[in-house]
Amino acid sequence: MQVTTLISMMSGNALRDLNTLPASERKNDSSSKGNFTKTCNGNTIENVEELQKKNPSSVCINGGETVNAGVEVANSEVEYIESENLGDLEDVNTCLELSQLGDLIPLVVKSLKNPRSAVCKTAIMTSADIFSAYNDDLIEFLDPLLVQLLLKSSQDKRFVCEAAERALEVMTTSVFPMSLLPKLQPYLKNRNPRIRAKASMCFSRSVPRLGVEGIQEYGIDKLIQVAASQLSDQLPESREAARTLLLELQTVYEKSNGLSTTIPEQPEMNSWEHFCQSKLSPLSAQAVLRVTNIAREGLHYSIY
C-alpha cells in the first residue's frame, strides 16, 4: 500500500515538473527523441541492405511493407559476322578432323532447333561453313542438317529464313550433285508445300552441275519425271524450279543427240517431243512440252 502511494506521488511530481519546463528544454528533449528515432531508422536501413545482399528479389520492412529490390538486367546485343568477312584459318582440317564431325553435327542440329533466333542463326551460319570446308565428306552426316535447314528456310522469321537459304545455296555448290540429289528427292514429296518448294529449288540448282555426262549417268528419264511432277505444285517457287530444270534437261538431251556420230533412220524418234511422250503420261508430257515450246518460241522471237 505504501509502495503504491509512493509511485503515485512520484508520477504526479514528474508530470508537474514536465509541465513547468521551459519551451527550449522541451524542444531539446523532442530532438533527442528524434535522434533516437533516426538512429533506429539508420539501423533498420543497414539491416535492409544486409537483407538485400542475401535476398535481392524482395525485402520486408516496417512490419510487413514489401520493397522490391529489383534486378538490373543488362541488354546484350549479338553482332553477326558473315563468313566472307572472317579471316581464313591456315588449315581447317587440323582444327577439326573428319572423325570429330560426327560429334559436332548433333550439337549444331540442337542449336538449329533452339527457339532463340540468334542461336539458330549462328548454327545456320556454322552449317554453311561446314559445307564449304568438308564438301562431299559431309554426305553421311547431311540428313539431320538438311531437314533443319529446309524447315528454317520455310519459316516466317525473315533473317533466319534468309540465312537458311544462303546455307542451302552453299550446300548445292559444295556437295557433289550425284550424292546430293538422292538426299533431296524425298523432300520433293513432303506434305509441307514450303519444304517442297525449297527442296525443288535446291534440286534445280544441283542438276546443271552434273554436266551432260553426269545427267546421262544419273538418268535423264528420272530427272524429267521429277521435274514434271513439280509443274503442278501449288507454290510458284516449285513450278519455276521445275521449268528451269526442264529447260536444262531439254538442252542436254538435244546436245547429246546432236553430238551423236550416227544418223538415225527416223530422226523424229529421237526428238525431244517423242522422248517426253515415251517417258511421261499424256497429261504430264503435254504440260512439259508446253513449257519447253513456249521457252523455245520466246528464244526464237528474241533472236529475230
Does any domain span residue 76? no
Residue 59: φ, ψ to 5°: -135, 135
Does any domain span residue 10? no
Per-residue pLDDT, 60? 46
Per-residue pLDDT, 211? 93
Q: Are strands 58-61 and 65-68 parallel, antiparallel or unpaired?
A: antiparallel
Domain boundary among 145, 175, 205: 175
Domain boundary among 175, 194, 215: 175
Per-residue pLDDT, 296? 65
Does any domain span residue 75? no
- Per-residue pLDDT of the chain (304 residues), as tens digits, is 433 443 344 444 444 444 544 554 444 444 444 443 444 444 444 454 554 554 554 444 444 444 444 444 444 455 555 656 656 555 544 456 667 888 889 999 999 999 999 999 999 999 999 999 998 888 989 999 999 999 999 987 899 999 999 999 999 999 999 999 999 999 999 999 999 999 999 999 999 999 999 999 999 999 999 999 999 999 999 999 999 999 999 999 988 876 443 444 454 677 899 999 999 999 999 999 999 988 665 544 343 3
Does any domain span residue 63? no
> 3-class DSSP state for residue 280?
coil
> 3-class DSSP state for residue 265?
coil
- Tell whether 184 and 166 lie within a shared domain: no
Contact assessment for residue 199 and residue 151, using Cβ atoms and an 8 Å cutoff:
no
- Tell whether 194 and 302 lie within a shared domain: yes
C-alpha cell recorded at residue 270 = 529421237
Per-residue pLDDT, 268? 65
DSSP letters, 146-205, are HHHHHHHTTSS-HHHHHHHHHHHHHHHHHS-HHHHHHHHGGGGG-SSHHHHHHHHHHHHH
Does any domain span residue 14? no
C-alpha cell recorded at residue 198 = 525449297
By residue range, what is the domain housing residue 303? 180-304
- Tell whether 106 and 165 lie within a shared domain: yes
- Tell whether 206 and 269 lie within a shared domain: yes
- Tell whether 298 and 228 lie within a shared domain: yes
Chain-centroid distance, C-alpha 33:
67
Does any domain span residue 50? no
Residue at grid coordinates 553477326:
80
Does any domain span residue 190? yes
> Any idea what the CATH number is for the domain that residue 112 is in?
1.25.10
**Helices and strands, number each (H, E), in the chain:** 14, 2
Per-residue pLDDT, 96? 60
Q: Quick one: CA dihedral 202, 205, 211, 216, positive or negative?
A: positive
C-alpha cell recorded at residue 281 = 503420261
- Tell whether 251 and 301 lie within a shared domain: yes
> 3-class DSSP state for residue 68?
strand
Domain boundary among 147, 175, 203: 175
Per-residue pLDDT, 209? 95
What Rg, from alpha-carbon coordinates, does the chain have? 40
Per-residue pLDDT, 257? 77
Residue 252: φ, ψ to 5°: -65, -45
Instruction: Find the helix packing angle between 220-230 and 211-218, rounded to 10°.
Output: 80
Quick one: which of 170, 180, 239 has its CA closest to 206?
180
> 3-class DSSP state for residue 71?
coil
How many domains does the structure of the chain reveal?
A: 2
- Tell whether 158 and 189 lie within a shared domain: no
- Tell whether 149 and 191 lie within a shared domain: no
- Tell whether 254 and 186 lie within a shared domain: yes
Does any domain span residue 4? no
- Tell whether 237 and 261 lie within a shared domain: yes
Residue 68: φ, ψ to 5°: -80, 120
C-alpha cell recorded at residue 232 = 503442278
Per-residue pLDDT, 5? 41
- Tell whether 166 and 216 lie within a shared domain: no
- Tell whether 202 and 304 lie within a shared domain: yes
